[in-house]
Structure 1
Amino acid sequence: MHLSSTRFPQAFAALVFLALVMLSSVLGAQAPGAQLFRIFLKDGGTLVSYGEFARVGGRVLIPVPVGDVAAEPKLQVISIDEALVDWAATETYAETLRANRYAETSGENDFVLLRGQVTIALNDIALTADPARRLAMAQEARGNLAAWPSKNFGFKAAEVAQLVSVFDDVIAEMKAEAGQQGAFDLSLVAMTLPPPPVPMLPAPDIRTSLELAFKAATLAAEPAERTALLQRLAESLAFAPKNALWAPALKTRVAASLATEQRADRAYAGLVTSTLKEANTRASRGEVNSLQAIIARALRADDALGRKRRGEMAGLLATLDLKLIEAQRVRLAQDAWVLRRDEIRQYEKRIENPIDRIDGFRKWLESIRALAGPDPRYLRPLDDRAALALTELAAAAPPAEAQAAHQLFAASLQMTRQAAVLRRKAVSSNDITIARDAASAATGALTLGARATEELQRLLSLPAK
């Protein structure tokens, strides 16, 4: 076995993994709790992250501890603007913290495995007969060894440098034996050393932890996150010991901030509810100018409230934009209706006689439907008048919009004639079955007539949503 680019990393990683599995129970008992990362701010302050933080979409996601970090504090994840962070200091501190944790846990075991791999590689090189192959193996092993500290938080970089020097000597000797002259390859000698570690800050006590959590709440980018963190703080402070002289002042600040956020929540909830209620009404009426005024009023209200709820306002304004489009569509339909209204009214006037006749047929049709008449002498006149109404209706050409109503009127009159004919036949034959058929026809005539009247009135009404 040798430290090659194809075999060494895989074998080494596998050995490290097995070693970590074997040591997991021991390390779990010895290792400290979650790491306390620090977010260094450009204003000189810091925040505590209970475990790793994350940068996502211009925000920094931070699990903020609330309470005693030495125990198991309650956590509240918030996001802050990444522009607030001093990233050079934050990343340097984080790398040092990770390096310390690595050194405390698996670093020593990984280094023991590395030394073993070095021994094996040197033995493999010594047992290889081909000089060119031996030189290639030594150079490859040396390169992988030199890269080990940068992949392992700079752990024992000085000791690794000594191991690298062993391979440098071996490689130099091999080249001399092979008669290769010239300067040594500096790319093989160069080795990146880790930056010097920065001092670790002590874990915050309960007071500092709560004060830093309050500072984090003031920087939270989302109001919901801010409110949730303030509520956790208020809950924790409610159980502060009486001898904690610092607690009342912090409790007052937290309560005031929480009350401010809750007032803002109520104010914006009321703004959204009232604005959308009015917008729905105005949009259904096609009142475009009113919708534009509502949008302007909502923006002024947001200014007056201090622009504290960007998310809620973004949602409200997006909805108002949709309502404005809806109002514009309704207004366009209303304007189109105005142009057609006179023609529809003229059509209504042309069919005035057939409509009056249909209204007059109602009492006779209701009697037929109830199998209670009318007087048989009225059945033929009912049929004749329905036929006359059909002729009058056919002479009145409807506009395109009124085609449906026109056809419904015609169908109603046809069913009226059918009801009269069937009732007369039922009376002459004394057949109850035919009388029931006549009742069904009368029901159809009444229903179709009512639908036709509703459709015509709809065409004459101002369009709405």
Structure 2
Amino acid sequence: MSTLLSLVIEWAQDRGVRRCAALLLITSLVALSVGSARAETTPIPPPPLFQLFLKGGESIHCYGEWTRTGHRVVFTVPLDLVLPGETPRLQTVTLPESRIDWRRTERYARSVRAARYAATRGEGDYAELAADIAETLGRIRETPSPEERVRIAETARRRLAAWPARHHGYRATDVRQFVAMLDETIARLRQATGDHSFDLALIADTVPPREPLRPAPTLPQVIEQALDLAGHVEIPTERLALLEATYRLVDERARALPERWTRDVAKRLEAALAAERSADQAYARLTKSSLQRAQRLAAKGDVSGVEALGPRIQQRDAALGRKRPGEVSALIAAVDRELQAARRQRLLRDQWELREPLYRAYQRAVSPVLECFERHGAALEAIRTLAGPEAKRLGKLESQLVEAFVALARVKPTPDLQAPHALVTNAVHLALTATRSRRAAAASANMQVAWDAAAAASGALMLVERARDDIARVTRKPSFP
């Protein structure tokens, strides 16, 4: 402090700057003493009560700053008395940002920020500014160059002028007085260099206008605000949560509220809650019945029936007062998905009807081959287990399998039957291989060849069963409820 005093007093000896230096000295001393006194105690800042101003003229007390996300604004409202140093019960609320008067809302927010800054950091920051500026000006006395003295003074002046706008307008009037006196000093210092111009860039920054701060709401005002705000909330779950929390507040604090007013408010809340719950139940029934019907119709491929559900849902929504736009939008989207399923099901049914004659023709073509396996299944099983059959039966089996192989080569299956057809063809080829290998094994009494025949017979029996199942699956008429 003594160093600052000596610097300013010495610098003030220069003619024409005594008034500016003296005022800076007094302000520095006052700011430093106030800042020191404030540092000894921890100030309690005012509650962060902001205001959201609606375009219709109403305003909403919100605790803390809001958040803009997408096309919505999210904020918290107090649900109890707002006292300094305490955080009340809060409820999160969302509103469309198009309903907010943002110009006035932002102006009020600047006022709240400024008040909280003044109550916490303002004096300390201002003391630092005053001391720093005074010390900077003290350097002018030690600077021999007139041009350098002008530069130092202008630098101090610019910093001083910009300070209020960057510090929520704190002590803006005092700063303007300093700036005006610095302008006189800078003009004299410039005259000493032979420069008589004035730099317009030195004009002080302006502080945006503010909204007057409003007092914290009373408990009845908190309750009335919550009840009125519920009418603006578009998200049903938020609206119901706000009403329920407000009802609990009224119930808990009934003794602190006017009796008649409390009864009236409780009735209004009960009516609003009953309406919300009734709407929830009505829209739940609408959703359940509509989805069940859409699913049944889609399973049948009834495209027209599913399409008719959309207008019916809209009509029912209008009759209910259009109270759940989000739920209705989700329901319409779900019905649209069922409509796509119905169209797909209808297309599959039409496809099967077109292909049915081809399926029947294919079944007739491969029926003799499958019957051949049924007739000679025991013989192939005997080859698989190395238990026969009698050698004289192998010739007849081989002949019939060759005929089956030739017959299959003439069949032209539809695209969806090509895989099953390949299985039948491979089954016949393996059965033919098993038969010929078994005859060779019997002729040479070679066990290795007999085992090779057994492996081929096993593969033939497995493939033919798979082919039966696949053919039945492809040619089976789709199930339409």
Q: TM-score range by the shorter chain?
A: 0.7 to 0.9
1:228 aligns to what? Answer: 241
1:105 aligns to what? Answer: 120
1:192 aligns to what? Answer: 206
**CA pair 102-464 structure 1, distance change in 2 beyond 3 A:** farther
**CA pair 241-397 structure 1, distance change in 2 beyond 3 A:** closer
Give the CA deviation at 1:173: 0.2
Q: Matches of residues 340-359 of structure 1 in structure 2 within 5 Å? A: 340-359=355-374
Q: Which amino acid aligns with 2:100?
A: V
**CA pair 231-382 structure 1, distance change in 2 beyond 3 A:** farther
Q: Which amino acid aligns with 1:154?
A: G
**CA pair 186-251 structure 1, distance change in 2 beyond 3 A:** same
Matches of 1:267 and 1:434, distance apart in 2:
77
**CA pair 435-100 structure 1, distance change in 2 beyond 3 A:** same
1:9 aligns to what? Answer: none
1:124 aligns to what? Answer: 139
Matches of 2:133 and 2:210, distance apart in 1:
26
Matches of 2:133 and 2:39, distance apart in 1:
26
2:105 aligns to what? Answer: 90
Q: Matches of residues 431-442 of structure 1 in structure 2 within 5 Å? A: 441-442=456-457
Say whether 1:320 aligns with 2:335: yes
Q: Of 424, 430, 437, which aligns to 1:409?
A: 424
**CA pair 355-320 structure 1, distance change in 2 beyond 3 A:** same
Moved more, 436-445 or 263-272: 436-445
Paired residues of 1:240 and 1:247 also in contact (CA < 8 A)? no
Aligned length: 442
Matches of 1:434 and 1:250, distance apart in 2:
98
Say whether 1:41 aligns with 2:27: no
Moved more, 94-103 or 277-286: 277-286
Give the CA deviation at 1:302: 2.8
**CA pair 241-303 structure 1, distance change in 2 beyond 3 A:** closer
Give the CA deviation at 1:443: 4.7
Secondary structure in structure 2 of the residue aligned to 1:210: helix
Matches of 1:340 and 1:260, distance apart in 2:
56
Please list the CA deviations of residues 22-69 of structure 1 after superposition, one character each: whole Å capped at 9, or x if unmatched: 99x969942236411122334443321111123333322111122232
TM-score by length of 2: 0.78
Matches of 1:311 and 1:303, distance apart in 2:
14
Unaligned runs of 5+ in 1: 1-18
Please list the CA deviations of residues 193-219 of structure 1 after superposition, one character each: whole Å capped at 9, or x if unmatched: 553651x32222333222222222221
1:172 aligns to what? Answer: 187
Paired residues of 2:107 and 2:210 also in contact (CA < 8 A)? no
Matches of 1:28 and 1:288, distance apart in 2:
76
2:325 aligns to what? Answer: 310
Paired residues of 2:240 and 2:273 also in contact (CA < 8 A)? yes
Moved more, 271-280 or 110-119: 271-280
2:271 aligns to what? Answer: 256
Q: Of 292, 304, 308, which aligns to 1:293?
A: 308
Matches of 2:134 and 2:74, distance apart in 1:
45
Q: Of 125, 133, 152, which aligns to 2:167?
A: 152
Matches of 2:351 and 2:144, distance apart in 1:
97
Q: Which amino acid aligns with 2:184?
A: D
**CA pair 427-31 structure 1, distance change in 2 beyond 3 A:** farther
Give the CA deviation at 1:241: 3.7
Matches of 2:388 and 2:272, distance apart in 1:
81
Q: Of 52, 74, 83, which aligns to 2:89?
A: 74
Give the CA deviation at 1:117: 1.6
Paired residues of 1:353 and 1:392 also in contact (CA < 8 A)? no
2:70 aligns to what? Answer: 57
Paired residues of 1:168 and 1:189 also in contact (CA < 8 A)? no
Matches of 2:293 and 2:388, distance apart in 1:
54
Paired residues of 1:330 and 1:463 also in contact (CA < 8 A)? no
Q: Matches of residues 345-424 of structure 1 in structure 2 within 5 Å? A: 345-362=360-377, 365=380, 378=393, 380-418=395-433, 420=435
Paired residues of 1:145 and 1:160 also in contact (CA < 8 A)? yes
Secondary structure in structure 2 of the residue aligned to 1:163: helix
Q: Matches of residues 260-271 of structure 1 in structure 2 within 5 Å? A: 260-271=275-286
**CA pair 235-185 structure 1, distance change in 2 beyond 3 A:** same
Paired residues of 1:161 and 1:191 also in contact (CA < 8 A)? no
Give the CA deviation at 1:442: 4.8
Q: Which amino acid aligns with 2:166?
A: K
1:4 aligns to what? Answer: none
Say whether 1:138 aligns with 2:129: no
Paired residues of 2:66 and 2:76 also in contact (CA < 8 A)? yes
Give the CA deviation at 1:174: 1.5
**CA pair 242-115 structure 1, distance change in 2 beyond 3 A:** closer
Paired residues of 2:187 and 2:196 also in contact (CA < 8 A)? no
Matches of 1:388 and 1:264, distance apart in 2:
73
Q: Which amino acid aligns with 1:451?
A: R
Please list the CA deviations of residues 262-319 of structure 1 after superposition, one character each: whole Å capped at 9, or x if unmatched: 3333433443344344444544554432332233333333333332222233333334
Give the CA deviation at 1:107: 0.8
Please list the CA deviations of residues 120-158 of structure 1 after superposition, one character each: whole Å capped at 9, or x if unmatched: 221233333332233233223212211211221211111
Q: Of 253, 258, 272, which aligns to 1:240?
A: 253
Give the CA deviation at 1:222: 1.6
Moved more, 145-154 or 325-334: 325-334
Paired residues of 2:165 and 2:205 also in contact (CA < 8 A)? no
Matches of 1:234 and 1:422, distance apart in 2:
90
Give the CA deviation at 1:418: 4.7
Give the CA deviation at 1:112: 0.7
Q: Which amino acid aligns with 2:117?
A: Y
**CA pair 113-190 structure 1, distance change in 2 beyond 3 A:** closer
Unaligned runs of 5+ in 2: 1-31
Q: Pairwise CA RMSD of aligned residues?
A: 3.6
Paired residues of 2:162 and 2:204 also in contact (CA < 8 A)? no
Moved more, 421-430 or 60-69: 421-430
Secondary structure in structure 1 of the residue aligned to 2:231: helix
Matches of 1:26 and 1:368, distance apart in 2:
104
TM-score by length of 1: 0.80
Paired residues of 1:60 and 1:80 also in contact (CA < 8 A)? yes
Matches of 2:115 and 2:335, distance apart in 1:
54
Matches of 1:243 and 1:118, distance apart in 2:
53
Matches of 2:435 and 2:153, distance apart in 1:
113
Matches of 1:365 and 1:266, distance apart in 2:
67
Q: Which amino acid aligns with 2:253?
A: A
